[in-house]
Amino acid sequence: MPPSTHREPTGTQSARPHSERITLANFIDGKHVAGGRTFENISPVDGSVVATVHEAGADTVDTAVQAARKALEGPWAAFSVTDRVRMLRRIADVIEARSEDFVTAEVRDTGRPEKVVRDLDVPRAAMNFRVFADCIASASLPAYLTDLAHGRQALNYAVNKPLGVVAVIVPWNLPLLLLTWKVAPALAYGNAVVVKPSEETPSSATLLAEIMVEAGVPAGVYNVINGFGTGSTGEFLTTHRGVDGVTFTGESATGSAIMRAVAPSVRPVSFELGGKNAAIIFDDANLEAALDGLTRSIFLNTGQVCLSTERVYIQRGIFDQFTAELVQRGRALRLGAPDEPSTTTGPLISRQHRDKVLSYYDLAVQEGAEVLLGGGVPDLGAPLDGGAWIQPTLWVGLDNTARTVREEIFGPAAALIPFDIEDEAIRLANDTDYGLAAAVWTSNLERGHRVAQRMRVGMAWVNTWFLRDLRSPFGGIGLSGIGREGGEHSAHFYAEPTNVCVQL
């Protein structure tokens, strides 16, 4: 296989640990394919160019879809469940063996702290493949023996078949984690995939192609095409009639556009979209645990997590104390280069996204917010000032009528709002067009169960956050998405059940 990267010096000195500029081509049918045009990938850490990326035009997208279709009818079709289980576990092993390569790729694209990527994203990527290997290894479908008239019987049983060619469109916030979360079940159930990573974070998808080859995945089963959305690669992929289904994580507006694209041919979709997630802090909560949890859920990955908390409802009796201590936790965060051991918080993904987040910082003040923490752009000095850095931010003085409280920001910011009684907290938390996740903090587990079950969300935590068995259902409702993934729940999208009825 030809090398996936061509390295050349950038001539730029920066605080990033990896200063090489690379070239990323598309990956189709087991080989790297150039595009007609290229674009630059910019480091969010210091604004330098870290990669030249080949854009896939309509013809290249068509080639990728045809390669995936051909793979479905070739050697991949002969892989038994046992074969796929072994292959998925090999992929996991190779990911672990090349873990530092993935750390390099993720940090280069996102600017996230190395330790976070090393401890969370890479192990989770390997685990995704192992979980779905275990899932299909132990899966069984029910059979029904039916008594018919005149003493006859019929046996009904179902078999799962691949959905087919799956378009996998992944975002920039957790590129490796979310990529493997979709590719692992797609391959587990026998599909072939055409992956479109975000134009902001193409590196890990290309590196995973090398892992696929090393693990023995047949050519055409895993393809990568780079580019943008409307009028570019994303639109060409979602409107291609050779695609049997689309799985997408990203903005709700983009999900709506994809639904319009697939509607004429009535193809299935699986969407995990935006969130405006709430946390409810009752006055009997373990405050240290709740403060730890909120510090993570608001500020982890600079607030660029679909599950992040942007609305915090705090019972009035502890509101002042809890707010003051949460502000202190925010002040203790350390923004800096990803290779610095003291760094807790990286930049936003781009200056364009920072402009969006800053517009909400300004809007919050216009809507009457009091800024307790942050509210602007930090002065980190050269070369970091060339990046997309922003201050972690907390507000009080807003309510559910404010746009800042209703619209997804996707940055390290949250509104802190008091409440008096349980029913009021539930009403406020559910007062949103989104429905992805919520967290309830209380020492009364009866109340914890009761409130969590009343949350209008796909996932509700009690006294924790970002903790989940990967076999459990993952997804949202409302503007937060369609469908569920995780363990056997993934089969509802990635597999097509066929019922077989035999009269005995």
Catalytic residues: 272, 306
Report CA 284 to chain centroid distance, whole Å: 33
Three-state DSSP class for residue 111: coil
Tokens describing residue 475: 């997804």
How far, in Å, CA of 323 to CA of 16, rounded? 34
How far, in Å, CA of 109 to CA of 150, rounded? 68
2, burial (CB in 10 Å: exposed 0-12, middle 13-18, buried 19+): exposed
Residue pair 356/376 in contact by the 8 Å Cβ criterion: no
Residue pair 323/316 in contact by the 8 Å Cβ criterion: no
CB neighbours of 391 closer than 8 A, spacing ≥ 6? 373, 374, 375, 376, 377, 378, 412
The widest CA-to-CA distance across the chain, in whole angstroms, is 86
Helices (H), 98-218: 99-110, 114-116, 122-138, 175-188, 203-215
Kindly state the helix (H) or strand (E) to which residue 158 belongs, with its residue range: strand 153-162
Residue pair 284/442 in contact by the 8 Å Cβ criterion: yes
Dihedrals phi, psi of 169, to nearest 5 degrees: -115, 115
Place of tokens 């907390």: 394
Describe the strand order of the beta sheet including 245-249 as a list of residue ranges: 31-33, 26-28, 222-224, 192-196, 165-169, 245-249, 269-272, 481-482
CB neighbours of 441 closer than 8 A, spacing ≥ 6? 279, 280, 281, 282, 285, 286, 289, 290, 293, 462, 463
Going by DSSP bridges, is the β-strand pair 413-419/309-315 parallel, antiparallel, or unpaired?
A: parallel
